[in-house]
Amino acid sequence: MLIIFLVLIIYPISAFAKSDQKVYDFAGLLTEEEISNLEGLSNKLSKKREVDIIVLTTSDTEGKDVVKYMEDFYDEEALGYDKLHGNTAILTLDMQNREIYVAGFYKGEEYLDNSRCDLIRNKITPDLSSGNYYKAFRSFMELSCQYMGIRPGVNPENILFKLWFQVLVSVLVAAIIVTIMVYNSGGKVTTSEATYLDRNTSGVVGERDVYLRRNTTRRRKPSQNSGGGGGHSSEGGISSGGHSHSGSRGSF
C-alpha cells in the first residue's frame, strides 16, 4: 500500500515536470560552451517576456516538412513558459533541406506575428548561410525579446524605436530650448526700419513686373519593381495537438 501510494504521488509530479532546456541542438552545430551561453541568455530573456525562446536544430526531420517537424516537437515536448503547451517562440533549423522556420505560440504568436517572424528570419539568414550558427541563434533570441517588448500591430523596425533616433531627437529638442532661452535673454529690440523712415517724404515711386520665360521639364515616372525575394514565405498553422502558431519559413 505504501508503494502504491508513493507511485500515485510521485508519478504525476514527474509526468508533468517541465524541462528548462532551451537549446535542442540535435544537428550538433554548437559547442558545449556555446550551448551553455545560449541557455543562459534564453533563460534570462524568456523570464523577461514570459515566453520560452527555443532553438531546435536537426539533420533528420524523419521525412517530415520542417513546419510539421516543429509542430510535432512542440506537441511532444509540451513547450511553454507559463504552462505545458504555452507561450513559446521557436526557431527550427533543418540542416537536411537547408530550411529555417521561425514560429510563435500563444503570446509568442500574438507578439511575433507572421510579418515579425519574417523580419527576424531575414535578419539572421545571412549568418546561417555563412555558417555562423551561434551568432544567428543569439540574434534570434535578442530580436524575439526586443519585438515582444513592442505592442502587436506596430512595425518594430519603425525609426521611432531606434535608439540613435531617440538620442538625436533629444539632442535637437535640447538645442532648440537652449537657443530660445539665449535669444529671449538678450532683451527685446524696440527699433525697426520705421524708426528712421519719414513716410511723408519717402515712398515707392514705381514698380514693374517683367515676364521672361517658362520652362517645362518632363521626367519619366519610374516603374514599380514587381520582383521580390525568392525562397521565403509567411505562414502559420495549427499543430496536430490543436495549438495555433504564426510562422515564417525560408532557405539559407
- Domains defined for the chain, CATH in brackets: 19-157+235-251 (3.10.310.50)
Closest CA to 38 of 149, 142, 143: 142
Tell me, what's the pLDDT at 157? 84
DSSP H stretches of helix in the chain: 2-15, 32-49, 66-77, 107-111, 114-129, 133-147, 163-184
Give the pLDDT score at 229: 37
pLDDT of residue 222: 46
Res 235: pLDDT: 82
In the DSSP assignment, the letter for residue 51 is: S
pTM of the model: 0.68
C-alpha cell belonging to residue 199 = 513716410
pLDDT of 158: 72
Opening angle at CA 110, ends 105 and 112, nearest 5: 80
- Residue 83: the pLDDT is 96
Q: pLDDT tens digits for the chain (252 residues)?
A: 455 444 444 444 434 456 689 999 999 999 999 999 999 999 999 999 999 999 999 999 999 999 999 999 999 999 999 999 999 999 999 999 999 999 999 999 999 999 999 999 999 999 999 999 999 999 999 999 999 999 998 998 876 555 444 555 565 665 676 556 666 665 555 556 665 555 666 555 555 655 566 665 565 544 443 333 345 566 899 999 999 999 999 999
Q: What is the DSSP letter of 83?
A: S
Sign of the Cα pseudo-torsion (116, 104, 241, 233, in order): positive
